[in-house]
Structure 1
Amino acid sequence: MNKLCRLLDISFPIIQGGMGNISNAPLTAAVSEAGGLGTIGAGTMAPAEVEEILKEAKRRTSRPIALNIPLSVTPYVKELGKLVFKHNIPVVSLSAGNPAPYIPKFKEKGVKVICVVASVKHAIKAEQAGADMIVAEGYEAAGINSNLETTTLTLIPQIVKAVSIPVAAAGGVGNGNGLAAVLSLGAQGVQMGTRFIATKEAPVHQLYKEHILNASDTETHIVGRSAGKIRRLLKTPYSQKLLELEKNGLSAEEFQNLTNEEKHKIGALEGRLDEGFINGGQISGLIDSAPSVKEVIEKMIEEAKEAADNASEQLKQFTSTQNK
């Protein structure tokens, strides 16, 4: 068992990304039941709403689940921390802010802490603050992204070199080849969001799933650069409207209002794609089926083994050629 699996008490090194206000118990439980780590994203939801989702997820699975707390997004950081303790949630994921003030409080209670970062500097600071593991998120990822726009391929090996705790890769991974690739870069596993949207258990609108299944390699784009708020979305009438508004001048506050979690729910859960948005990573272009979560994870592991074996065989051929 690798370090990440041992740390999180899971069977496969696959973590579900937090999905903000479209988080739900059925998908989270399905990921955990399949041997990964299911995650509830708190988004901007009130603590009472998050608590109900946590309780339902725990009714559906006895395996570990996590709560993602986006520190600069939610106004309820302290209250959400209390829910982690109250419901014995074994893992917390901290993102979108400085985790240092909060890590010791979770560690005192035996909660494992994952910190989501997008730079070597922040990975080092998270480890120094007591984080148990790092999720290093590249520019390819869906949703709120880093202004640094560093790709997963370049980010992972640099962070792995800089810290001693396990690192999972996020952004641009949705199949076994991607898993094998990031493992070869030194990561211990992956965190995925977009791939889990296109599954039977994900209770999102069918139009959201269809957009992913029909996506080409250029079917996502970045909005928010003009406002300093990077976000990767699937192309829809609403996302195109956002880009047009940016061209004509859009304040950070206006952009925030147009990309808040209510607009997220309108697009993802209600399918009104001219009135709300849907997040999507660049991996969307590789997704062409919506199987069960269990099938996704099992296929990923098998594909990763095949990819690793294939790479090993190719390297042996190079070695053999050099020895002649």
Structure 2
Amino acid sequence: MNALTNLLKIRYPIIQGGMGNISNAILTAAVSEAGGLGTIGSGTMTPDEVEEIVKETLRRTDKPFALNVALTVSPYVRDILSLIKKYNIPIVSLSAGNPAPFIPKLHDQGAKVITVCASVKQAKKAEAAGSDVIVAEGYEAAGINSALETTTLVLIPQIINAVNIPVVAAGGIGDGKGLASMLALGASGVQMGTRFIATKEAPFHEKYKQRIIDASDHGTVIVGRTVGKIRRVLATDYARKLLKYEEKGISLDDFNRLTSEEFHRTGALEGKEEEGFMNGGQIAGLIIDIPTVQELIDKIIIDAKGQLEKAYLLFK
């Protein structure tokens, strides 16, 4: 147990990242049941769609889980946040926007607030606004990413030095060595997204999972640099098509349309690699199997303990 697990009332310091419109109750509940913190990502889904996932998650687990709202992505922020009180959801994750206007009310409703940050400045502002936990996300992470391009290894210790609340490391983490390394840097835990895609419970297309298994150390690409909307995705035919559009000079409006959640669903849920994209972090290059969520989390904890014990013996 540490500050993070005590605060969130979870067994292990492992959080599932929000997954936008491909979020679902099956994976969320599986992560929570295995001792981590499952997360429902709202993406651009309607409040009714999110509410159905919340209700199904509650049917599947009585363990804590979180609801993630990407503030500048969702057109229904306040309506979705109203589900916190209605269903007594204990934890809220806020990303992609300013959390300050929402934190006091969420606290009044008894929720703990996690804020996703990509810089020291953002982390300090989130702490000052009352955030309970910072998720510091490095450039290795999947999906929508920061234009600052700061990697996890250098971002985490700087944010830890700048704030006094628990810091969770995200981006490029998917095994026990990753957890051990982030704990050694001073983080209180880790957040993982891509690693949870490649699990048996994850209800995503098998082609998506296989793409992650087959990924090499350069199996992901960044799209959107030319329009200032960075996203890390698996290097599929659709991703290469987007890069060609950028070479020719795509507009921001067209890029946003071609990377909307509609195309995310097409790639991830339907496995249509030429018609939609598949989010993927650089950790994909290290993923070689598809375990159950319980098997994955158990192995991560065992391997992390082993790594930390070996490191301790070096200095004994």
TM bin, normalised by shorter chain, reads over 0.9
2:244 — aligned with what?
A: 244
Q: Provide the residue aligned with 1:39 in structure 2.
A: 39
Whole-angstrom distance in 2 between the partners of 1:11 and 1:251: 46
Q: Which runs of 4+ in 1 moved over 6 A?
A: none
Structure 1: which amino acid aligns with 2:63? R
* C-alpha deviation, 1:88, in angstroms: 0.7
Mapping 1:203-282, distance limit 5 Å: 203-282=203-282
Q: Distance in 1 between matches of 2:310 and 2:111?
A: 39
Corresponding pairs, count: 316
TM-fit CA distance, 1:313: 1.8
2: distance between equivalents of 1:269 and 1:22? Answer: 7
Q: Does residue 62 of the first structure (1) align with residue 67 of the second (2)?
A: no
| Aligned-partner residue type, residue 12 of structure 2 | F
Q: What's the counterpart of residue 321 of structure 1?
A: none
Q: Supply the distance in 2 between the matched residues of 1:227 and 1:85 (Cα, whole angstroms).
A: 38
Three-state SS of the structure 2 residue aligned to 1:204 is coil
Deviations 1:191-236 (A, max 9, x none): 0000000000000000000000111111001000001000000010
Q: In structure 1, give the amino acid aligned to 2:95.
A: S
Overall identity of the aligned pairs, in %: 65
2:297 is matched with 297
What SS does the aligned partner of 1:233 have? strand
Aligned partners of 1:313 and 1:82: how far apart in 2? 50
Contact 2:137 2:152 in 1 (8 A): yes
Distance 1:161 1:213 in 2: 35
Which residue of structure 2 aligns with residue 28 of structure 1? Answer: 28
Residue 241 of structure 1 and its aligned partner are, at CA, apart by 0.2
What is the alpha-carbon distance in structure 1 between the residues aligned to residue 38 and residue 128 of structure 2? 26
How far does residue 251 in structure 1 lie from its aligned partner after superposition?
Answer: 1.1
Provide TM-score, normalisation by structure 1: 0.97
CA distance in structure 2 between the aligned counterparts of 1:60 and 1:7, rounded to whole angstroms? 22
* Aligned counterparts of 1:309 and 1:10: Cα–Cα separation in 2: 23
Deviation for aligned residue 1:292: 0.3
Instruction: Please state whether the residue corresponding to 1:147 is helix, strand or coil.
Output: coil
Q: Contact 2:84–2:109 at 8 Å: present in 1 too?
A: no
Match of 2:314 in 1: 314
Rounded Cα–Cα distance in structure 2 between residues aligned with 1:300 and 1:115: 24
Are residues 1:140 and 2:140 paired? yes
- Structure 2, unaligned stretches of length 5 or more? none
Distance 1:290 1:17 in 2: 18
| Counterpart amino acid of residue 217 in structure 1 | D
Structure number with larger C-alpha Rg:
1
Equivalent residue letter for 1:227: V
Q: In structure 2, the residue corresponding to 1:265 is in which secondary structure? A: helix
CA apart distance, 1:315: 2.7
1: distance between equivalents of 2:9 and 2:314?
34
Residue number in structure 2 paired with 1:85: 85
Q: Which residue pairs with 1:150 in the alignment? A: 150
1:315 and 1:240 mapped to 2: Cα distance? 47
Query: What is the CA deviation profile of residues 70-101 of structure 1, one whole-angstrom value per residue up to 9, with x for unaligned ones?
Result: 00000101001111110110000000001011
Gaps of 5+ in 1: 317-324
Aligned to 1:283: 283
**Contact 2:157/2:185 (8 A) holds in 1:** yes
**Alignment match, 2:72:** 72
- What RMSD, in angstroms, separates the aligned Cα atoms of the two structures? 0.5
2-structure distance, mates of 1:231, 1:75: 20
Question: 2:173 matched to 1:186?
Answer: no
Distance in structure 2 (CA, Å) of the matches to 1:160 and 1:253: 37
Deviation at 1:314, TM superposition (A): 2.1
Task: Report the 3-state secondary structure (helix = DSSP H, G, I; strand = E; otherwise coil) of the residue aligned with 1:267.
Answer: helix
3-state SS, counterpart of residue 69 of structure 2:
strand
